[in-house]
Amino acid sequence: MQVDGRSMVRRAAVALVAAGAFAVAAAQGASGADPRIVGGSPTTIDEFPATVIFNVNGAQHCAGTLVAPNKVLTAAHCTDGVQASQMEIIGGQTKFSDTSGEKAGVSDVWQNPGFDMTGMQHDNSVLTLDKELPYAPATLVQSAGDAAYQAGADVTVVGWGTTSEGGDVSDTLLKVNVPVVDNDSCATAYSTGGNSYDKASMFCAGVPEGGKDSCQGDSGGPAYVDGKLAGIVSWGQGCARKDFPGVYTNVGNDYADISSHIG
φ/ψ (deg, to 5) at 48: -130, 70
Q: Is 77 an annotated catalytic residue? A: yes
- 245-255 burial string, b = 16+ CB within 10 Å, else e? bbbbbbbbbbb
Residue of 31, 61, 77, 213 marked active site = 77
Q: What angle do CA 173, 178, 179 make, to 5 degrees?
A: 150
* Alpha carbon distance 222, 230 (integer Å): 8
Residue of 219, 234, 254, 261 marked active site = 219
* Alpha carbon distance 23, 43 (integer Å): 17
Q: Is 122 an annotated catalytic residue? A: no
Residue of 31, 61, 122, 123 marked active site = 123
Which residues share a beta bridge with 128?
A: 71, 108
Hey, which residues are catalytic here? 77, 123, 219
